[in-house]
Amino acid sequence: QSVLTQPPSASGTPGQRVTISCSGSSSNIGSNIVNWYQQLPGTAPKLLIYSSDQRPSGVPDRFSGSKSGTSASLAISGLQSEDEAHYHCAAWDGSLNAVVFGGGTKLTVL
């Protein structure tokens, strides 16, 4: 059971906008930044969003992040087939003194 809660799956058609949620508590998302990672099939994770809403250079602006209270969200607009991947959220948890992850969301492009 992961400390952060993500839906196990999400889907959309090409061109659509999809949103993936990440729910936590006051000790993690509520008081710390959130990172999002993209894991393409058979590969290592890659940083997608940092500090809750910032994109590293090279990440398309179709990807955006936001945070409100104890929840965070990843939005992907103009969905493309190459976006099919697992998406993971993570944050520092001050009560556990640990990095905590969500269980990951598998995004399928229909």
Partner 1 sequence: EVQLVESGGGLVHPGGSLRLSCAASGFTFSNYWAVWVRQAPGKGLEWVASIKQDGSEKHYVDSVKGRFTISRDNAKNSLFLQMNSLRAEDTAVYYCARSLLAATCLWGQGTLVTVSS
Which residues bind to partner 1, rule: CB under 8 A? 2, 32-33, 35, 37, 43-47, 50-51, 54, 56, 88, 90-92, 97-104
Measured from the CB atom, the residue of 32 and 71 that comes closer to partner 1 is 32
Smallest separation (angstroms) from partner 1 to the CB of 14: 26
Q: Measure the CA–CA gap between 27 and 37, rounded to whole angstroms.
A: 21
Measured from the CB atom, the residue of 1 and 81 that comes closer to partner 1 is 1
53 close to 36: Cβ distance less than 8 angstroms: no
- Taking each continuous run of H as one helix and of E as one strand, the counts in the chain are 0, 9
Measured from the CB atom, the residue of 9 and 16 that comes closer to partner 1 is 9
Smallest separation (angstroms) from partner 1 to the CB of 70: 17
Measured from the CB atom, the residue of 56 and 60 that comes closer to partner 1 is 56
Smallest separation (angstroms) from partner 1 to the CB of 6: 8
CA quadruple 18, 19, 20, 23: dihedral, nearest 10: -160
